[in-house]
Structure 1
């Protein structure tokens, strides 16, 4: 790769890192391109060369945020492992992401801004639909292996994740409630998995509905 291109990439990354910190600390409205440029140690012109507007820069940050969320949930389906064990691994990955203070702060800014700009929200959703989300891919593989009842993988994945988010994301994001402690996390993960398997699992022994594993 050409050295100038590498420098350009480094500057772009510095701008994104600085912008994330500014948006996280100040919110969208109070963050200016001047502050982002100063924080990234680049000229304001350089910022605009990479991102024509604050809206464009914010949209890129949101896209990276949600892509990061999807990338964190990766576990290849295995036909030789119990469904419950695999789903517990998947849900613990999701729980660790939802419990990350940095992720929560950026998600809070993201939701506030997408409410202000429905067009931005629609654009982000359209882009993210092009990516295959890890939990839906796992469910699809388990379905094809004949170990789940007929279902829509995307719908079922949203249901499963929603069971966690109702305890470990939305209360913290919208009502300022504290993050779950270790025992609460364990209960939320285990009960979500057991409820999912009790409804969709073909083998009654796959789900236990005991709350904590």
Structure 2
């Protein structure tokens, strides 16, 4: 005689991973304001109450995602910036790592660099703090190269140079996503032509 065996209960870590995966897709697709915890719970295959066991609010879930994906991107960039070779070689590797992250982690990239950042004050603060931390870590990683170029990393000039490079790479990644026929090698070469030219010209001969 057939019996109704109870369904196995997913471990907490697995449920959390499913929630995060569903939330990343939701936030990347529709942005913070339009994101729905109900849709996230449904996509993760959990009850909404289970979602709240892991994250007590949409803001908490959004902030956790930002930190997680920011760390993933910084891991890509850190490995390149800390590699062996000349400054030019490291920067080429770093540009390549940025574009590789954009290609391999499209949802994460869209979360970190949305077309329209959050308008909600608390979410906007979380996003702003994430970007500030990201810029601070990158500035630390670039400090040695900046000093060799005669730039004090803590000056306004250096911070402006870093910001211009970051924003130019983001714009280039958006353009590349709209032109999939362009190879990663080609977009890296274009970025080097546009961005390394100025910074490399400051390097001591």
Q: TM-score, normalised by structure 1?
A: 0.70
**C-alpha distance in structure 1 between counterparts of 2:172 and 2:76, whole Å:** 19
Match of 1:164 among 163, 169, 173: 169
Counterpart contact for 1:69–1:97, Cα < 8 Å: yes
Counterpart contact for 1:168–1:179, Cα < 8 Å: no
1:131-142 aligned within 5 A: 135-142=138-145
State the superposition RMSD in angstroms: 3.2
Q: 1:18 deviation in Å?
A: 1.4
Residue 21 of structure 2: aligned partner: 17
Any stretches of 5+ residues in structure 2 without a counterpart? 1-9
Q: Deviations over 1:150-173 (max 9, x none)?
A: 23254433233333233223x57x
Q: How many residues align?
A: 188
**C-alpha distance in structure 1 between counterparts of 2:28 and 2:120, whole Å:** 18
Mean Cα displacement is larger for which, 128-137 or 16-25?
Answer: 128-137
1:53-202 aligned within 5 A: 53-74=57-78, 75-77=80-82, 81-100=85-104, 101-107=106-112, 110=114, 112-114=116-118, 116-127=119-130, 129-130=132-133, 135-143=138-146, 147-152=148-153, 154-169=159-174, 171=175, 177-179=178-180, 181-182=182-183, 184-191=186-193, 192-198=195-201, 200-202=202-204
